[in-house]
Amino acid sequence: MFRRFSVNFAVFSIFVDMVLVDMALLASAWARVPLSSLSFVAPINDPVTLPPILFVLFPLVWVGVLMLFAVYDGRKNLRVVDELGSLTLGAVLAAIALAGILYFSYREVSRFLFVMAAALAYIFLVGWRLVARMMFRRQGLHGEIRRVLIAGAGTVGRKLEQQIRHMPDMGLEMVGLLDDDWKKQADHADILGSLDVGRTVIRERKVDDVIIALPRSAHERLSWLVSELHDQPVRVWVIPDYFSLTLHRARVDEFAGIPMLDLRAPALDEYQRLTKRAFDVAVGLLCMPVVLPLIGAAALAIWLEDRGSVFYHAARMGENGRLFKMHKFRTMVPDAEKLQYLVEKKDTSGKVVYKRPDDPRITRVGRVLRRTSLDELPQLFNVLKGEMSLVGPRPEIPGLVEKYELWQRKRFAVPQGMTGWWQVNGRSDKPMHLHTEEDLYYVQNYSIWLDLQILVKTVWVVLRRKGAY
């Protein structure tokens, strides 16, 4: 059946995209003469004839770039914002690549025609995807619903059940759960019985997928259940009960040729890491002509105020717990660490807060730098060195990390950043060591599109001077 997450649909999407890119190219060539009346377009009278090779080259390059951005992987683009974000970035890169190719080959193709073709192609590709999403939503994204049975009604099993119920777009339907605990069976109507009735439930409820979420203590029952289901027409999945030990997520990988469970798997895959690093370097270098004069002016102002050191180098905890020296402008009096007791206080829950707006240690120049966030500019050098990223959770003080609970350490699963989800949703109004939920949202929902959103919001937050002190 033609399903949303099938290979058939991915192939169909590639074919549609190639046709639409060619249609955009044809439409642009046809419209070039009528649009000659526009003041900013060079007038021409003869119809435009494009080299036939372009009708092969354009769709191949466009689709190839979209493949790099995983646009055709439906499961990575469940949300429309993720799909359109990947499509937008892919379209921009494809247009840049094609512009370079035309520059070195068919330079007679007008720039206006090319820009119009790229814009039309993007509109066509977005348009048909939105229509397809509406059609699939009416009929079910899969075209067929997969019925799921969970063996194990413990913490892991219940968490999985909630995930399935809260993500209807996956095309999964909960049949129920199985558990050997008779108390749970009595208290919860969705528990259909013990593991012993699994075969009966599978047959009567027409189950497609069985997910085993048993605790480590039930190893023998897990082995028995797997052997019981070997002849059933279902897919069998096993969730290892090791999630309490993971810092972000676990994944199966080969080590010395043997499949093993990696409990410290990085949050970003190799492609995401490459894209993020390239983005950081490109934006960092583009900002330097503007940033360097600001750095010089700020450094001079700091030195003139008290003739003290200009920069402040602090040990911070980076990705995966690596220590590095983070660079900032000095905004406090010399030896400010010795006066830390002046600002420490406890909140209503008894946790220590280390930052407040009326900090007496801040200098006059330092207050201006903090209010404008210019004190953060030297961290661009950390970004270019690869110790930080433009966007990510803020690097934390090592002493505070020692007081973290295990779940809070998950914020170090990605490169730490100059700005992040926490900063654009509260900044200093929310002490980062007490509000790591925002950082975990970023870790779990990372995309280069989210990075762009955060950077845009950061500009607005800095201009408003909200939460900066």
Rg (CA), the chain: 28
User: What's the CA gap between 279 and 366, in Å, rounded?
Assistant: 30
**Angle subtended at Cα 402 by Cα 356 and Cα 359, rounded to the nearest 5 degrees:** 15
Residue 111, pLDDT > 70, answer: yes
Residue 1, pLDDT > 50, answer: no
Domain segments of the chain as ranges: 7-139, 146-241, 270-464
Residue 377, pLDDT > 60, answer: yes
Please say whether the beta carbons of 232 and 202 come within 8 A: yes
CATH class of 146-241: alpha beta
Residue range 185-241, pLDDT digits in tens: 888 989 999 999 999 999 999 998 999 988 877 888 888 988 888 878 888 888 876
Please say whether the beta carbons of 383 and 391 come within 8 A: no
61 vs 338: which has the higher pLDDT: 61
Residue range 136-178, pLDDT digits in tens: 776 655 556 788 999 999 888 898 898 888 877 667 889 999 9
Percent of the chain at pLDDT > 90 equals 26
Confidence (pLDDT) at 102: 87
Q: Which helix (H) or strand (E) holds 389?
A: strand 389-391
What pTM was estimated for this model as a whole? 0.54
Confidence (pLDDT) at 360: 76
Please say whether the beta carbons of 173 and 148 come within 8 A: yes
Confidence (pLDDT) at 266: 65
User: How is 336-382 classified by DSSP, letter by letter?
Assistant: GGGGGGGT-EE-TTS-EE---TT-TTB-HHHHHHHHHTGGGTTHHHH
Residue range 388-428, pLDDT digits in tens: 999 998 888 888 888 787 777 778 888 999 998 887 875 45
Confidence (pLDDT) at 17: 93
Confidence (pLDDT) at 327: 93
